[in-house]
Amino acid sequence: MQMEPQYYFNNFVKPNYSEFCDDKGSIRKAFNAVVSLFHMTDNYFNYYKRKGDSRVSGFNEFKDFKIYMANKTHYFNDIQSIANAYKHLYTNSGKVHVTVESSGAVYVEDVDETSEIVDGNDLEHSFCNAVYYLKKDGTSVQVKDAMREMIKVWENIL
């Protein structure tokens, strides 16, 4: 049995994301979830390419499919950059699509209950910190927010 995309999504991506959401301050769970989410792109493209499926027949190369995904949401490049930085410590930050330069740009920060970025539901389980990443442009984003958006994109594609 080959690992088709829906199986991979249901058995790797969603459980890793869920485990991270249950422990939003765990940088380890954040990286595990990001890596499996980014590899969804590889799984989807290569599975359907081998099958000669029309879902990917319009893309000449994997690079073209990644460009397509980046046009679906700007978070795609963030997720890709974090996954690559996690595997290699640093990325080639001279490339336009690289938005996060190193694994050191992913960090845990305490969340103040009065902060505008905190969803009241997040405090239900007494979470007091969250995992963020710092982009090359200086903005800081919660990993959970980027992942949630990418999960929605995949749910629409699958």
pLDDT of the residue at 94: 56
pLDDT for 92 equals 57
3-class DSSP state for residue 100?
A: coil
Beta-carbon neighbour count of residue 11 at 10 Å? 12
- For residue 81, what pLDDT is reported? 84
CA distance 126 to 105: 25
Asked whether residue 42 carries a pLDDT value surpassing 50, the answer given is yes
Residue spans of beta strands (DSSP E) within the chain: 106-110, 129-134, 140-142
Torsion of CA 100, 101, 107, 109, to 10 degrees: -60
Residue range 76-99: mean pLDDT, rounded: 66
Kindly write down the DSSP assignment for every residue of 121-140, as one continuous string. Answer: GGGGGT--EEEEEE-TTS-E
The predicted structure's pLDDT at residue 112: 58
Q: Mean pLDDT, the chain, as a whole number?
A: 82
Among 102, 71, 70, 108, smallest CA distance to 84 is for 102
* pLDDT, average across residues 104-113: 63
Q: Which of 10-19, 51-60, 106-115, 137-146 is predicted least confidently?
A: 106-115
HSE-up (13 A, CA, CB side) for residue 76: 20
The strand ranges marked E within 14-93 are none
Q: What percent of the chain has pLDDT over 70?
A: 73
pLDDT tops 60 at residue 62: yes
pLDDT band at 120 (very low <50, low <70, confident <90, very high): very low
- pLDDT value, residue 107: 65
Cα 35 versus chain centre, distance: 7
- Measured from the Cβ of residue 80, the count of other Cβ atoms closer than 10 Å reads 23
pLDDT of 124: 47
The C-alpha atoms of residue 20 and residue 5 are separated, in whole angstroms, by: 21
Q: In which band, very low, low, confident or very high, does the pLDDT at 73 lie, cut at 50, 70 and 90?
A: very high
Contacts of 53 (CB under 8 A, 6+ apart): none
